[in-house]
A and B are shown apart, each in its own frame.
Chain A
């Protein structure tokens, strides 16, 4: 059957069929196959991502377990350092602690006052604060004072004596009046 033999009605029908075919193809690809392909590609990508995440997470968990064993000493030390800070506001417990300490060293009347409290500059010590205290010892024997300072420096690792002022007491030359400026790192609670 050649095109020349087709009558007008038949040509119209062929054109209509061709249009229908194009419309069918358009609908099929645009509304059926494409969304399906897209969702399949998305899901495949998601699977790859999740598998990658799962694999890397397993490595990360292993690393954390290794780190845990490596950091045992540091964790214990950090815990011990944290324990030097007592519960409550430092102004409530630090002055009595110093008074008791110096009393145990045979130095009475230790008067402790808070001078300043600042955060540390180091990022690693964001949980810690630097407190400066003034400790006044109105009457102390030089020898006893030396031993007391040695004991204080050895027993309080986070405490550092920054300033020291020793003056002889005029009416009692064997005693000195002492003022210590100490700085201590405390955990901010």
Chain B
């Protein structure tokens, strides 16, 4: 076997030493990991860019829709206000008390021997009741009776259209004045009536049942 002399022993061992240098190996490892991390970052950045693009598209869509939505929202608010306002106004209109029918009823109740001097009245705040005072003069053989007839007739007529009707004398006094009615001298009386009622119309009373129609009549039996 031939003898081999390694004259570069020291150089070779130094070279091996350099190749095994931990700093160099560590730097290489770091470089490899750095490259992997850089790639991972790049992948993430790419995904982020894609999301940003998607966001831009969605923002563009929203920018187109937003003015329309705001306008629609405002219009909806306006419409709700109109609907609610109309409902309330309709309620006010429906709950009004109409004086013309009352004046017509009153004029129908005044007999030729009764003269009205004044009418003062009003509607309560929530249209819950109407009250007024009527002042007048009744002339007849029995003037107090004529005034009472007028009171009763008025109460009866008002009860046809309103509820909780009250017609009461506040004052009734005989007068010394003699009134000439159709050539006949009559005594007179001055009266003041206090009238109050609820303006809601009375509920219609149900029509009475016809017993014959409901139940067939039994046949009469002739006793022999």
Contact of B54 (CB < 8 Å), options: A11, A36, A47: A47
Number of residues on chain B facing chain A (CB within 8 A):
67
Residue in B41, B75, B107 whose beta carbon sits within 8 Å of that of A64 in the complex: B75
Q: Provide the main secondary structure of the chain A interface.
A: helix
Q: Are B83 and A74 in contact (CB under 8 A)?
A: yes
* Interface contact A125-B123, CB-CB below 8 Å: no
Given A128-B89, A150-B100, 20 new contacts (CB under 8 A): A13-B22, A20-B26, A24-B30, A24-B37, A36-B45, A47-B54, A54-B58, A54-B65, A60-B69, A64-B73, A67-B79, A68-B79, A74-B83, A146-B107, A153-B98, A161-B123, A163-B121, A164-B121, A165-B119, A181-B122
User: Does B87 touch A at the CB level, under 8 Å?
Assistant: yes
In the assembled complex, the CB of A172 is this many whole angstroms from the nearest CB of chain B, namely 14
Give the shortest distance, in Å, between A50 (CB) and chain B (any CB). 5
Name the prevailing secondary structure of the B interface residues.
Answer: helix
**How many residues of A are counted as interface, with CB atoms below 8 angstroms from the partner's CB atoms?**
69
Cβ-based interface call for B88 (8 A)? yes
| Structural contact, B20 and A43, CB atoms closer than 8 A | no
- With contacts A14-B22, A54-B62, A54-B65 known, is A143 near B107, CB below 8 A? yes
B12 within 8 Å of A (CB atoms):
no
Q: How far is the CA of A46 from the CA of B54 in the complex (A)?
A: 10
B33 partner, pick from A21, A51, A53, beta carbons under 8 A = A21
Inter-chain CA distance A161–B101, complex, in Å, is 13
CB pair B44–A36 under 8 Å, yes or no, is yes
A-B contact pairs, 21 of them (CB 8 A): A6-B22, A13-B22, A14-B23, A24-B33, A28-B41, A36-B45, A36-B48, A47-B54, A51-B58, A57-B66, A57-B72, A61-B68, A64-B72, A71-B82, A149-B103, A161-B97, A161-B99, A164-B120, A164-B121, A168-B117, A181-B122
Min CB–CB distance B20 → chain A (angstroms) = 6
A59 CB, nearest partner CB in chain B, Å: 10
Question: Which of chain A's residues have a CB closer than 8 A to the CB of B29?
Answer: 17, 21
Q: Which B residues form the contact surface with A (CB < 8 A)?
A: 20-23, 25-27, 29-30, 33-34, 37, 40-41, 44-45, 47-48, 51-52, 54-55, 58-59, 61-62, 65-66, 68-69, 72-73, 75-76, 79-90, 92-93, 96-101, 103-104, 107, 115-123, 132
Give the distance in Å from the alpha carbon of A142 to the alpha carbon of B106 in the complex.
11
Q: Which residues of A contact B21 (CB under 8 A)?
A: 10, 13
Q: Which of B37, B51, B55, B89 has the most CB of A within 10 A?
A: B89
